[in-house]
């Protein structure tokens, strides 16, 4: 270990996937709601449920690997109908921004974290059906010591157990020695409650990346 080890403020950096390495689905829901002339909060509630909580909403159950996405899609359509809204889960895909390519500055950020001696992980709320679509988008094996997918472990953010599980898998990292990046505020808040350094990634990821670089010393 060189002097970097003493200057470094963290031993691990945990990254969300959607909205961090790829465009945010929340931004897509915003575009979708504007297009349909409905409130963002209403669209979010129907499509993704109360996302700062872990509930029995069909999307949450799908992210925990409890139901297939086809069932979630159907139930979500019905939830929308009851509120007089015509919302299809799959519309989100059509409104995802970007060019289908990952956000390169964030990939470089992971490489710098590893070069500084940090362990790295993905902590993603995801659905089993998307596995073959998202995993090839970035070089997971090169970049991460662990990939924790909610649909595989049956736990989803913001449940604190998914953060604890990740820190365990990384070799028992102290929460205070770990940074966590996510594009959804509720997930960042949950990480901070555990003592982690929670960093919100906005549409421009530059400030979040700068914070990581500062922590790397
Ligand atoms: Mg995200």
- Host domain of residue 179: 4-23+98-216
Report whether 189 contacts 198 (CB < 8 A).
Answer: yes
Choose among 4, 2, 25, 210: nearest CA to 124.
25
The verdict on 41 and 61 lying in the same domain is yes
Q: Which residues pair with 147 in a beta bridge?
A: 122
The verdict on 147 and 200 lying in the same domain is yes
Strand residues in the chain grouped as ranges (E): 12-15, 119-124, 146-149, 178-182, 197-200
For the domain that residue 18 is a member of, what is the CATH number? 3.40.50.1000
Please give the model's pTM, rounded to 2 decimal places: 0.94
pLDDT score for 197? 98
Distance 189 CA to ligand 1 centre (A): 13
The verdict on 14 and 118 lying in the same domain is yes
pLDDT digits (tens, 9 = 90+) for 39-75: 999 999 999 999 999 999 999 999 999 999 999 999 9
Distance 1 CA to ligand 1 centre (A): 33
pLDDT digits (tens, 9 = 90+) for 163-174: 999 999 999 999
Distances 181 to 3, 8, 109, 196 between C-alpha atoms, Å: 25, 17, 11, 10
Region 192-201 average pLDDT:
98
Distance 185 CA to ligand 1 centre (A): 10
pLDDT score for 4? 47
Tally of domains in the chain: 2
pLDDT digits (tens, 9 = 90+) for 95-130: 987 888 999 999 999 999 999 999 999 999 999 999
Distance 2 CA to ligand 1 centre (A): 34
Q: Which residues contact 17 (CB under 8 A, 6 or more apart)?
A: 122, 124, 126, 134
Which DSSP category does 125 fall into?
-
Report whether 87 contacts 80 (CB < 8 A).
Answer: yes
Beta-carbon neighbours within 5 Å of ion ligand 1:
16, 18-19, 183
């Amino acid at each position: 270990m060189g002097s970097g080890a003493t200057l470094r403020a963290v031993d691990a950096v945990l990254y969300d996937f959607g909205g961090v390495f790829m465009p945010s689905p929340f931004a897509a829901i915003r575009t979708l709601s504007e297009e349909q002339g409905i409130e963002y909060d209403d669209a979010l509630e129907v499509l993704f449920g109360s996302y700062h909580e872990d509930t029995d909403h069909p999307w949450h159950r799908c992210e925990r690997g409890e139901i297939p996405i086809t069932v979630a899609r159907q139930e979500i359509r019905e939830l929308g109908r009851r509120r007089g809204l015509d919302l299809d889960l799959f519309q989100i895909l059509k409104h995802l921004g970007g060019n289908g390519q990952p956000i390169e500055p964030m990939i470089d950020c992971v490489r710098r974290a590893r070069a500084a001696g940090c362990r790295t992980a993905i902590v993603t709320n995801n659905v089993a059906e998307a596995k073959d679509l998202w995993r090839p988008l970035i070089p997971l094996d090169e970049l991460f010591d662990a990939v924790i997918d909610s649909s595989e472990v049956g736990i989803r953010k913001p449940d604190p157990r998914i953060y604890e599980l990740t820190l365990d898998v990384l070799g028992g990292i102290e929460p205070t020695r770990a940074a966590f990046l996510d594009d959804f505020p509720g997930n960042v808040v949950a990480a901070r409650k555990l003592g982690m350094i929670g960093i919100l990634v906005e549409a421009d990821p530059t400030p979040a990346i700068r914070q990581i670089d500062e922590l790397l010393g």
